[in-house]
Structure 1
Amino acid sequence: MTGFKKFLMRGNLVELAVAVVIGAAFSGLIEALVADVITPLIAAATGGSQPDFAKYTFTVNGSVFKYGDFVNHALSFLIVAAVIYWLVVMPMTRLLSLFTKDKEATEKQCPECLSDIPVAARRCAFCTAELTVSAPIHPGRHSA
C-alpha cells in the first residue's frame, strides 16, 4: 500500500492530472468558440443562414457519413493546436533559448569528416585526422 501511496503523491502524476482537467475545460471552450463564433462568422461571410455543420451528411448504400460533424471537430482541433503552439510552445522555445545561449560549447566539428567531437580532442575519433588544439583563452591573462 505504501508504494501505491508514493505513486499517487509523485509530483509529475499530479501535474498530469491537472493538465488533463485543464485540457478538457479548454477543449470545451474551443468547441463553444467554433459553434458560437466561427460558424456564425462563416454564415455572415457567405450571406446565408447559420450553417449547422453537424447536420451535413451524405449516404452511400444506406450508410450515413456525418462529414459536417467532422468539420466541426477539425476546426476545433486546428484552433487548439494553434493556441497551444502560439501560447505554450513558442514562449517555451524562446525561454529555453535564453538559458542555452550562454552555454559554453563542449563539441566542435572535425574539419575533415564534419563529425561532432569534443573541443579538447587532438585527433578525430571517426576519421583519425590530427587536429590543432588552440589554447583556451583566460580572461585577464596575457600571453608573453
Structure 2
Amino acid sequence: MINGFKEFIMRGNVIDLSVAVVIGTAFTALVTAIVTSVFNPLIAAIFSADSLAGALVVTLPNKSAILFGAVIGALINFLLIAAVVYFVIVLPLNKLKEAQDRRRAAGVPSAVVPHPTTELDLLTEIRDLLAQNAAAAPEQGPKH
C-alpha cells in the first residue's frame, strides 16, 4: 500500500502539479497587489464605486446583493496567476522537452550523468590501490 502511494507521488504529473500549486501560491500576493492597486481603481472609476467588490452590484428585492464586481476581481486574479504559471513554468518546460525530443530523433545521445560515488566504490578503489602498491614495492625482509 505504501509502495503504491510512493509510486503515485513520484509520478511526473503529481510533481508538476505540486510545483504549479506552489508557484501559483507564491504569485498570489503579487497578483493581488496588481489587482488591488491597478485594476480595482480603474474599474471603480468606470463604475463609480470604491472598489471592485462594490462595482456592478445588483440588489434583489429581498435586500440581497449579487456582487458581480467581486466575481470579476476573482476572475482577473485567476487569469493573471494562470498566465504567470503558464509562461514561467509550463512553456519553458514544453520547449525543453521539445528540444530533447528533437535531439533524440536526430540521434544525438543525451548527456551521460555519472552515478554518484558510494562508500563501497571508494573502499574498493582504496583496496585496489593498496594491492597495486604492495605488488609494486620490492619485498623487504626483516631488518636485523
In the superposition, the TM-score normalised over structure 2's length comes to 0.50
1:32-79 Cα offsets, whole Å, 9 max, x none, are: 2100123235567x5x87741111321223232111111111111111
Q: 1:87 to 1:15 in 2, by over 3 A?
A: closer
Look up the match of 1:108: none
RMSD, matched Cα: 3.5
Q: 1:77 to 1:86 in 2, by over 3 A?
A: same
Q: Which has the higher strand share?
A: 1
Look up the match of 1:55: 54
Instruction: Judge conservation of contact 1:39–1:50 (CA < 8 Å) in 2.
Output: no
Look up the match of 1:99: 100
Larger relative contact order (Cα-Cα within 8 Å, sequence gap ≥ 6) = 2
Which stretches in structure 1 are left out of the alignment for 5+ residues? 106-144
Q: Which has the higher helix share?
A: 2
Q: 1:18 to 1:77 in 2, by over 3 A?
A: closer
| Number of aligned positions between the proteins | 99
Which stretches in structure 2 are left out of the alignment for 5+ residues? 107-144
Identity of aligned residues (%): 34
Instruction: Judge conservation of contact 1:53–1:68 (CA < 8 Å) in 2.
Output: yes
Q: Does 1:88 align with 2:89?
A: yes
Give 1:19 deviation, angstroms. 5.6
- Give 1 or 2 for the bigger CA radius of gyration: 2
In the superposition, the TM-score normalised over structure 1's length comes to 0.50
Q: 1:16 to 1:89 in 2, by over 3 A?
A: closer
Look up the match of 1:37: 38
